[in-house]
Amino acid sequence: MDRTGVIYTDESLVGAEITLTNCDREPIHIPGLIQPYGFLLCLHEQTRRVVQASANTQELLGIAAENLIGQGLDCLFEPARLVDIEAQLTTLAEGHRLVGVRLDKVTGQPFYKLILHRFDDLLWLEFEPVAETTDGPLNLPSLNDALGQMLAAASVVEFCAYAVQQVREITGFDRVMAYRFAEDESGEVVAEARHPDLEPFLGLHYPATDIPKQARAMYLKNWLRFIPDVDYVPVPLVPVRNPASQRPPDMTYSVLRSVSPIHVEYLKNMGVGATMTISLIRDGQLWGLLVCHHYAPRLVSYELRDLCQFIGKTFSALLKSKEQADDFAYQLRLREHQARLFGLLAEFPDFRKALYDHLPVVKDVFDCGGVLVSFDGELAAYGSTPTAPQMREIVEWLSKHATGELFHTNSYARHNPAGVAVRSVASGILAIRLDRAAGDFIIWLRPEVLQTVTWAGQQQKAEVMKDGQLHLSPRHSFAAWSESVENTAEAWKPIEVEAAEEIRLRIADIRLKLFNEIQARALQLSRLNAELERSNDELDSFAYVASHDLKEPLRGIHNYSIFLLEDYADKLDSDGVDKLQTLVRLSQRMESLIESLLQLSRVGRLEPDVQEVDLNTILAEAMEILQPRLEQTGTRVTVAHPLPTVQADPVRLREVFNNLLTNAMRYNDSAVKTVEIGVAPAGVISPRGSISPAAFHVLFVRDNGIGIDSRHHESIFKIFKRLHSQDKYGGGTGAGLAIVKKMIEKSGGQLWVESQPAQGATFFFSLPKYTS
């Protein structure tokens, strides 16, 4: 016993006038009326007697309906035929059975097609006349071909196209269309086979309300509806209400059921004379309809209708595989495009550049109109996109309102009223966020559906009023549908959202990898630095300890040489004495070398005592110490006052000046020795590149001495490196410049020299500016 789970209808409307405002509550399954091209008898299940009959039996059989009530079927048939029918009745259910019958007991013994089913506690006998259209024998080979084509169809749309062609060939209707319902239950004509003179409806959209809910519910149960002449005058049942249930019987499975007047009006407005619709059902859901229109009345035989229903059922059975094929094809294309994008991201070290330089690839990942890529407020766009300021607005809105990593909508204007301005290109938005902090996004845009619909009639205005009545027509439907889908784009498929998320993750991975690489490099650097520092410290400690330990035996050698000279001079010849004296001298030299090494290591080992240092003061102190020697050598020192204040260790800085000034005096053959000290002009460049004038002062010490060949500009700063023999220029240890260099570098600066032989030398050194 079939009972629909949902009751959409209102039985109080039985017999009431149906208008557009109440049509979705019209009880279309119990109209109590039939179409007059055939007649109907409802029998009691047990007694097999007529309970109700259609009022047109008088017209068709010459027997008034009232006279049939209470009768058995023997009033129409011979006993032999009655046995056949009876046999059918016992095993009857909702499904139709067809029996060709001759009404033996009716005048003229006419042939009828008897369609039987059992429903609503009644046995239904519907009699259809033999069709006007002469059906040729069923063309099995062509049907076979047709089914073969349908099976081979690669896409849903192609599949629909074969189905409508086939149905048109079988039935000869002027126009056969395949409707497909969208998520919102609105419909679209996706395939059409029509007489060449007719205007195309292909691409027509109509709102969900065009097919009321209760009709959809009925279409799921009864696969085929047929109106051979829309100008029919409905014929009532006699009596209208079933005596047992006290309501009109449920005609859900009835062939002759009279349809809604609203529907008829719609058809008439379109100029349609006959119509047939076949349900297309997928997974128990109404997926769409095959709709046939004829522009004159047309009676199609039950057998042919049955064949069309067979095609509809075959279509329904195959539909899922076709949709899967569609999905699979789109998935495949999506994966290919995604793979291309991933390839680019892998190929280019800078993924942003990869995206910026290959926007078409980014866009083509999805079926969309355009794409935006935004990094650090920098926008790049490709395809159909709004103006730059509008794009910025979208990015800003997303930064603020799209809280997750991924945002998608098929109606941006629904979220942001300002989106109406960009609806033509950006009703649909699929955005992935690439960075939480910055407004970094990739945004795919989809145009408003209306921009992409191709129906020839869409530009013409719907005639809304006719005699003060709402005038129903496809154009009106389209206008109504258009209104309902304003600011809406085609929805993003789950698989598309998934693919976008994958892209986001891929980019996040790349970012993370880059970040990790940078981290790793930084870690490595700091490790190397620490190692370097440690080895420097070790070297310095080594130099310190070694030099310290070396001094002791050296002192021994020195002292014992002295003791030998003191105690045994009288036993040695002058050569022996000379050798001992040399031993004493060499041990003294070695001691001064060790002392220098100690000094140098001390500079490395001790952290400088950094403070604010006025160079003028420090230089004055150094000069004071050197005063006797300056006078002795006749050296003129000029200082370009005032010198700046720096951040350094004052003791060491004094040492630096002391050293550089001593060298300037020492390596100088000029009659008048001059030394010039000052601040180097801005933009001075060290061997290691330019020096930030914001952070450093650069000073110079210039002499008019013997100069240094550029070959030696580096080596002079190495410990114990001397350019001259010991007996020239006062014979230092060669450690002075190494110590100075280390001091400058320990306080964060650099030391270098500019010089040519015989042209004097200029030593430059940089020191950090004082920061409180």
Residue from 312, 214, 251, 255 nearest 2 by CA: 251
d(CA 169, CA 300): 12
d(CA 678, CA 641): 7
Question: With respect to another protein, which residue has the nearer C-beta, 527 or 555?
Answer: 555
Question: With respect to another protein, which residue has the nearer C-beta, 111 or 568?
Answer: 568
Order of strands across the sheet that contains 761-768:
635-639, 673-679, 696-703, 761-768, 751-755
Question: With respect to another protein, which residue has the nearer C-beta, 280 or 598?
Answer: 598
Question: With respect to another protein, which residue has the nearer C-beta, 552 or 575?
Answer: 552
Question: With respect to another protein, which residue has the nearer C-beta, 414 or 589?
Answer: 589
Question: With respect to another protein, which residue has the nearer C-beta, 563 or 720?
Answer: 563
Question: With respect to another protein, which residue has the nearer C-beta, 221 or 746?
Answer: 746
In the stretch 147-176, what mask flags binding to another protein with x, by CB under 8 A?
------------------------------
Least separation in angstroms between residue 601's CB and another protein is 10
Contact region with another protein (CB under 8 A), list: 505-513, 551-559, 614-622, 665-673: 551-559
CA distances from 543 to 146, 536, 585, 630 (A): 99, 10, 23, 33
Least separation in angstroms between residue 555's CB and another protein is 5
Task: Annotate 361-410 with DSSP letters as a single string.
Answer: HHHHTSS-SEEEEEETTEEEEEES---HHHHHHHHHHHHHH--SSEEEES
Least separation in angstroms between residue 565's CB and another protein is 10
Least separation in angstroms between residue 585's CB and another protein is 11
Least separation in angstroms between residue 548's CB and another protein is 6
Least separation in angstroms between residue 736's CB and another protein is 18
Contact region with another protein (CB under 8 A), list: 71-79, 481-489, 549-557, 709-717: 549-557
Question: With respect to another protein, which residue has the nearer C-beta, 554 or 723?
Answer: 554
Least separation in angstroms between residue 353's CB and another protein is 56
- Residue 304 tokens read as 């042919």
Contact region with another protein (CB under 8 A), list: 218-226, 472-480, 555-563, 741-749: 555-563
Handedness of CA 322, 327, 328, 332 (dihedral sign): positive
Least separation in angstroms between residue 650's CB and another protein is 15
Cβ distance 623 to 643 under 8 Å?
A: no
Cβ distance 28 to 248 under 8 Å?
A: no
Q: Which amino acid is at 757?
A: P
Least separation in angstroms between residue 612's CB and another protein is 22
**Backbone φ, ψ for residue 329 (5° rounding):** -65, -45
Least separation in angstroms between residue 730's CB and another protein is 19
Least separation in angstroms between residue 590's CB and another protein is 9
618: left (phi over 0), alpha (psi -120 to 50) or beta: alpha
Q: Which residues contact 195 (CB under 8 A, 6 or more apart)?
A: 174, 175
Q: Which amino acid is at 569?
A: A
Q: Which of 466, 548, 585, 718 binds another protein (CB under 8 A)?
A: 548
Instruction: Compute how many other C-beta atoms are within 10 angstroms of the C-beta atom of residue 521.
Output: 10
Least separation in angstroms between residue 727's CB and another protein is 21
Question: With respect to another protein, which residue has the nearer C-beta, 552 or 727?
Answer: 552
Contact region with another protein (CB under 8 A), list: 56-64, 73-81, 535-543, 548-556: 548-556
Cβ distance 223 to 279 under 8 Å?
A: yes
For 241, how many CA atoms within 13 A lie in the half-sphere containing its CB? 8
Q: Which of 553, 693, 730, 757 binds another protein (CB under 8 A)?
A: 553
Q: Which of 555, 579, 585, 641 binds another protein (CB under 8 A)?
A: 555
The residues in 378-397 that bind another protein, with binding defined as CB under 8 A, are none
Least separation in angstroms between residue 606's CB and another protein is 7
Question: With respect to another protein, which residue has the nearer C-beta, 387 or 559?
Answer: 559
Question: With respect to another protein, which residue has the nearer C-beta, 405 or 591?
Answer: 591
Residue from 258, 200, 217 nearest 30 by CA: 258
The residues in 477-536 that bind another protein, with binding defined as CB under 8 A, are none
Question: With respect to another protein, which residue has the nearer C-beta, 467 or 566?
Answer: 566
Cβ distance 162 to 331 under 8 Å?
A: no
The residues in 558-597 that bind another protein, with binding defined as CB under 8 A, are 558-560, 562-563, 587-588, 591
Least separation in angstroms between residue 734's CB and another protein is 19
Three-state secondary structure call for residue 216: helix
Q: Which amino acid is at 567?
A: D
Question: With respect to another protein, which residue has the nearer C-beta, 562 or 679?
Answer: 562
Using the CB atoms, write b or e for 27-42: b if 16+ within 10 Å. Answer: bbbbbbbbbbbbbbbb
* Cis peptide upstream of residue 239 (ω within 30 degrees of 0): yes
Cβ distance 608 to 746 under 8 Å?
A: yes
Least separation in angstroms between residue 553's CB and another protein is 7
Cβ distance 494 to 426 under 8 Å?
A: no
Using the CB atoms, write b or e for 645-672: b if 16+ within 10 Å. Answer: bbbbbbebbbbbbbbbbbbbbbbbeeee
Residue from 224, 215, 217, 243 nearest 2 by CA: 217
Longest dimension (CA), the chain: 175
Contact region with another protein (CB under 8 A), list: 245-253, 463-471, 483-491, 543-551: 543-551
Contact region with another protein (CB under 8 A), list: 7-15, 95-103, 439-447, 556-564: 556-564
Give the binding-site size for another protein (rule: CB under 8 A).
20
Contact region with another protein (CB under 8 A), list: 148-156, 248-256, 552-560, 659-667: 552-560
**Backbone φ, ψ for residue 767 (5° rounding):** -135, 140
3-state secondary structure 240-288: CCECCCCECCCCCCCCCECCCHHHHHHHHHCCCCEEEEEEEEECCEEEE
Task: Tell me: does residue 602 bind another protein (CB under 8 A).
Answer: yes
Question: With respect to another protein, which residue has the nearer C-beta, 452 or 559?
Answer: 559
Least separation in angstroms between residue 592's CB and another protein is 9
- Residue 429 tokens read as 């938005």
Question: With respect to another protein, which residue has the nearer C-beta, 295 or 560?
Answer: 560
Using the CB atoms, write b or e for 402-426: b if 16+ within 10 Å. Answer: beeeebbbbbbbeebeebeebbebb
d(CA 211, CA 475): 15
Contact region with another protein (CB under 8 A), list: 1-9, 216-224, 347-355, 557-565: 557-565
Q: Which of 221, 506, 511, 551 binds another protein (CB under 8 A)?
A: 551
Least separation in angstroms between residue 582's CB and another protein is 15
Least separation in angstroms between residue 541's CB and another protein is 12
Question: With respect to another protein, which residue has the nearer C-beta, 462 or 550?
Answer: 550
Q: Which amino acid is at 114?
A: L
Question: With respect to another protein, which residue has the nearer C-beta, 562 or 610?
Answer: 562
Question: With respect to another protein, which residue has the nearer C-beta, 583 or 680?
Answer: 583
Instruction: Compute how many other C-beta atoms are within 10 angstroms of the C-beta atom of residue 561.
Output: 19
Which parts of this chain interact with another protein (CB under 8 A)? 544, 548-549, 551-556, 558-560, 562-563, 587-588, 591, 598, 602, 606
